[in-house]
Amino acid sequence: MRKTLAIFLLAEAIPFAASHLAAQTVCPGYSIVINTPEDGLTLAYNGAENPQEQVAALDKFMEANPDSKFAPCAHEYYTMAYLKLNNYDKVIEHGEKAIALGQRDVMTSLNVAKAGVASGKLSDAALDAIVGAAEAIKAESNPGRSPTLSEEDWKKELDAATAQANDWRAYMAYAFFQLIPREPDGTKRLPWLDKFAAAYPDSAKSGQLDFQYFLAYKLSNQPAKAIESGEKAVAADPNNLLAANLLAYDMAFVNNNPDRAEQLARKALELATAMKKPESVTDDQFKADQNNQSGMAKLTMGYAAFAKASAANSRKIGPAIDDLKAAADLLPGNPTLQAQALYLLGSAYEFQYPPSHKLAMDALTRAAAIPGPFQAASQKLLADVKKAAGVK
Q: How far apart are CA 87 and CA 115, in angstroms?
A: 8
| pLDDT surpasses 50 at 17 | no
Q: Kindly state the average pLDDT of the residues 144-164.
A: 85
| pLDDT surpasses 90 at 358 | yes
- Structural domains in the chain, CATH included, are 2-180 (1.25.40.10), 183-237 (no CATH), 238-389 (1.25.40.10)
Q: How far apart are CA 83 and CA 56, in angstroms?
A: 15
Q: Which amino acid, residue 259?
A: D
pLDDT confidence of residue 25? 61
Cα–Cα distance list, 294 to 81, 177, 247, 329 (Å): 46, 25, 14, 10
Where b means 16+ CB within 10 Å and e means fewer, 367-382 reads: bbebeeebeebbeebb
Question: How confident is the model over 314-356, as pLDDT tens digits?
Answer: 999 999 999 999 999 999 999 999 999 999 999 999 999 999 9
Q: Rounded mean pLDDT of the chain?
A: 91
Higher pLDDT, 91 or 151: 91
User: Which of 11-25, 147-161, 357-371: highest mean pLDDT?
Assistant: 357-371
| pLDDT surpasses 70 at 8 | no
In this predicted structure, which of 21-35, 163-177, 263-277 has the lowest mean pLDDT? 21-35
pLDDT confidence of residue 10? 25
**Of how many residues is the chain composed?**
392
| pLDDT surpasses 90 at 363 | yes
Q: What percent of the chain has pLDDT over 90?
A: 83
- DSSP assigned state of 25: E
Angle at 58 between CA 54 and CA 61, to 5 degrees: 140
| pLDDT surpasses 60 at 106 | yes
Question: How confident is the model over 226-267, as pLDDT tens digits?
Answer: 999 999 999 999 999 999 999 999 999 999 999 999 999 999
Question: How confident is the model over 280-308, as pLDDT tens digits?
Answer: 999 999 999 999 999 999 999 999 999 99
The H-assigned helical ranges of the chain are 37-47, 51-64, 71-84, 88-100, 106-119, 124-140, 151-179, 186-199, 207-219, 223-236, 241-253, 258-273, 283-311, 318-330, 335-351, 357-368, 375-389
Question: How confident is the model over 173-217, as pLDDT tens digits?
Answer: 999 999 999 999 999 999 999 999 999 998 877 789 999 999 999
